[in-house]
Amino acid sequence: MKAVVLVGGQGTRLRPITYDIPKALVPLRNRPFMGYMLDFLRGGGVDGAVLSLGYLPDPIQEYLAGWRGFSVDYAVEEHALGTAGGVKNAEEYLDGDPFVVVNGDVLTGMDLAEAIRIHKESDALATITLTSVEDPTAYGLVEVDHEMVVRRFIEKPAADEVTTNLVNAGVYVIDPEVLGMIPAGQEVSIEREIFPELQARGRLRAHVSSSYWRDIGTPRSYLAASHDVLSGAVGTNRGTFEYMDVAENARCGKNVKLLPPLSVAGGCEISDLATIGGRSSLGRNCRVGRGAVVEGSIMLDGAQVEAGAVVRGSIIGRNARVGRGAIVRGLSVLGAGCVVGESNVLDQGIRVNPGVVLPPRSLRF
């Protein structure tokens, strides 16, 4: 069985991080997201993937060049074709059998083999997996009947329109016949155009999974997914899980506090009296200055937090620098190479574009 992995989107909700890193490669516990995705597919019995690419395709292909024992093909779009157009564009690599389609930003421990089995036993042309979420208002709801036939889609409902908490989990099993419903070379949405058509014909079924599920499409959900992977909550970890994953060549000064779970990659330097709080992940060659505190945050490769600065629940882009005594908290996101000058305070989900330099003491919340 093959899978089409949709990774062609621009990831606008995860900007500024996705200006230079495609969403498919953002790290979780210092491993690019796509690694978890391919593990998930392999674990479900899939033996080859077609990556449906558009935005920033090169780094994704470079990362996957080293994968062995699993065939990977690439279908690259010249202009965005949408989620169904991206599948159609991968058709030449499919073999005429049913196939899996996944949104390339879904982290899940669901039983894919079970979803495939259920699809094959039904008369559906497509089976869509559903997951329950606490607040469904930000998602597309899917109403099903007692036989799991899809009855209705409700896009981003108001609170009083919520009739179910089941949402589209972005993992589908699809019959090849569906490819004939998608015009080639055009932008087509699988959720908004193809599934409603299948639903109207009574040929769309659902499969509900109660396993771990999260998409990594926003700073909040990316950070939460990072926390979950660090604490082993995802259900994709096998046996020897280390809560304290510190590279051998990372250097720590005196009286440094390292609180698990955390991940510190090679080449990091953590100075005296610094604290790296639980559920933080530091990429390669990061630096944390004397007495600085980093808690529940992601620092991407080469990021720096200078002496006495505090970073809490935030994402620091590649080679970005947080100056002495600055505070970055509350889901702030710094783009690559930006500089937060001394003693600034960033909060409330502020996003700083790549390369921006904030002079010392210019922002306070």
Q: Considering the rule CB under 6 A, would residue 23 count as an interface residue with ligand GTP? A: yes
Site residues for ligand GTP, 48-87, by CB under 6 A, read: 52, 54, 77, 80-83, 86
283 binds ligand GTP (CB under 6 A): no
Size of the site for ligand GTP (CB under 6 A): 21
Nearer to ligand GTP, 10 or 353 (CB): 10
Pairing mode of beta strands 293-295, 275-276: parallel
Work out the number of other CB atoms within 10 angstroms of the CB of residue 41: 22
Interaction of residue 290 with ligand GTP, rule CB under 6 A: no
Pairing of β 27-28 and β 31-32? antiparallel
289/323 Cα distance (integer angstroms): 10
- Closer by beta carbon to ligand GTP, 88 or else 318: 88
Burial of 189 (0-12, 13-18, 19+ CB in 10 A): middle
Q: Candidates 64, 105, 168, 222: give the one binding ligand GTP (CB under 6 A).
A: 105
Q: How many CA atoms lie within 13 A of 74 on its CB side?
A: 17
Query: Is 53 or 276 the residue whose CB approaches ligand GTP more closely?
Result: 53
**All residues at 6 or more sequence positions from 270 whose CB lies less than 8 Å from its CB, including other chains:** 250, 251, 252, 253, 256, 258, 264, 276, 287, 288
Q: From CA 354, how far away is CA 357, in angstroms rounded?
A: 9
Q: Which stretch binds ligand GTP (CB under 6 A): 34-42, 103-111, 160-168, 243-251?
A: 103-111
- Of the candidate spans 3-11, 131-139, 171-179, 264-272, the one that interacts with ligand GTP by CB under 6 A turns out to be 3-11
Nearer to ligand GTP, 14 or 206 (CB): 14
45: tokens are: 């019995």
Burial of 178 (0-12, 13-18, 19+ CB in 10 A): buried
The distance of closest approach from Cβ of residue 254 to ligand GTP in the complex, given in angstroms and rounded to an integer, is 43
Q: Which of 1, 2, 3, 6 binds ligand GTP (CB under 6 A)?
A: 6
Minimal distance in Å, beta carbon 77 to ligand GTP? 6
Q: Which residues bind ligand GTP (CB under 6 A)?
A: 6-13, 23, 52, 54, 77, 80-83, 86, 103-105, 217
